[in-house]
Amino acid sequence: MADPTEDLLIRRAVAGDRDAQAALWAWARRFVAAVLVGAGAHESEVQDLVQETAIAFTRGIPALREPAAFRGWLRTLAQNSLRAARRRAPAVPLASEPPAPDHDAFADADEVQAVRRALAELPDPLREALVLKAVEGLSQRAIAAVLGVPETTVESRLARARRALRAALARGRALCGTECPNGRNHEELR
């Protein structure tokens, strides 16, 4: 992590500064959610998994020795939370899930579900890179550091992910025909 402010925050959190830990977590929890979504977690379970990751974060942060490894360490915590949840109960098939109940308009809910279904079709490495980029806004270099892969691999994955997402969304449009949400059914595959 190159940002000296973040670096200082991490060091203070590691040293046991409770305020620094809270501030660091407030910054990091969206990253945790992005990792979980990238790893295939469903929206309905993300909040619980973030909570479990928060507990692991509290327990583990004093042992973190290298601030630069913070994101990678946090990613491992989030993935471990998801793996533990999967051992307790297998993933719910996406197709059997109801639309998100907290959306005002059904069209919006359909749109959200369409995008999430398309995202779920992506292979894990592509989805993870895409979500970290789109949601967290991490640079390709930062994503490479988190994933432990070369930057060129991240760039390649992002290109493939966006192309795959486009194809999956277009397939969704093709399947729903003229009944597509918002009437937008004119997209075509490359």
Smallest distance from another protein to CB 136, Å? 9
Compute the distance between CA of residue 33 and CA of residue 42 in angstroms, rounded to an integer: 10
The binder of another protein chosen from 8, 51, 83, 84 (CB under 8 A): 51
Kindly indicate which of the ranges 1-9, 23-31, 66-74, 88-96 contains the residues binding another protein, using the contact rule CB under 8 A: 23-31
Cα 33 to chain centroid distance, Å, stands at 5
**Taking CB under 8 A as the criterion, which residues in 133-152 touch another protein?**
133-135, 139-140, 151-152
CB-based contact 161:122 (threshold 8 Å) = yes
The binder of another protein chosen from 5, 65, 93, 102 (CB under 8 A): 102
What is the DSSP secondary-structure string of 105-164? -HHHHHHHHHHHHHHHHS-HHHHHHHHHHHTT---HHHHHHHHTS-HHHHHHHHHHHHHH
Mention every residue, 6+ apart, whose C-beta is less than 8 A from residue 177: 185
Select 76 or 156, whichever has its Cβ closest to another protein: 156
| 75 token code pair | 């990613």
Binding site for another protein (CB under 8 A): 15-18, 21-22, 25-26, 29-30, 32-34, 37, 43, 46-47, 50-51, 54-55, 57-59, 61-63, 100, 102-103, 111-112, 115-116, 119, 130-131, 133-135, 139-140, 151-152, 155-156, 158-163, 165-166, 169, 187, 190
